[in-house]
Every structure is written in structure tokens, then in C-alpha cells.
Amino acid sequence: MLKFGDEVIWLSQGGGYTSTKIGTVAATVPAGVDPKALHFLKAGDGASWPRMFDGGPRTELSYLVLVFVEKTSGLSPVLYWPRTRNLRIANTE
């Protein structure tokens, strides 16, 4: 089981591309809970939150992972909700 602050890595697929993502566990999402219902996700936190968490609750424990993505204005925080089976502890050495 992962815990808050663990650095994780996973492969992400979208738009015909595969990329490696590295981030930090920001929250645990219990089975049956929609992450949009978590208290720290408020309106105005970012237009991508609702789109990123489409699909409704999952049947297994899962995690929200914070990744800093490089934008033209600098680094921006983005939350991802990857499948738990795809997450691995990142090698921090």
C-alpha cells in the first residue's frame, strides 16, 4: 500500500503517445469514492480536475498523484488518477 508523499512512477497513454510520469502521492481514494468528492478539490482549483476524474468511483483503493508539468509560464501542478496496478515506487537514488 502506498502512502502520502511516496514518489511513484507509471506509464501514461493518451492521444497515441506513451509517456513516463513521476509524481507524489497526494491523496488516497477509498474504493467506491469519487475523487471529485474529496474536500481539497474545490471549484477553481483547475479546469482539468473534473475532466481528469471522469468515469466515477473505482472498485479498488486508488491514489491521486501530483505531478509538476512544465508549461511556458513555468511548472504547474497537475493531479492524476492513475490505475493503482500501474503505479510503482520511483527509484529515488
Q: Tell me the pLDDT of the chain averaged across its residues.
A: 83
Domain extent at residue 12: 7-87
> DSSP label at 2?
-
Q: How confident is the model at residue 87 (pLDDT cuts 50, 70, 90)?
A: very high
Mean pLDDT in residue range 47-54: 57
Query: Does residue 1 sit within a domain?
Result: no
Query: Does residue 20 sit within a domain?
Result: yes
Query: Does residue 2 sit within a domain?
Result: no
Determine the length of the chain. 93
Query: Does residue 92 sit within a domain?
Result: no
Q: Which pLDDT score, from 0 to 100, does residue 52 have?
A: 65
18 pLDDT higher than 60: yes
Query: Does residue 15 sit within a domain?
Result: yes
- Report the number of distinct structural domains present in the chain: 1
Mean pLDDT in residue range 10-32: 92
Q: How confident is the model at residue 47 (pLDDT cuts 50, 70, 90)?
A: very low
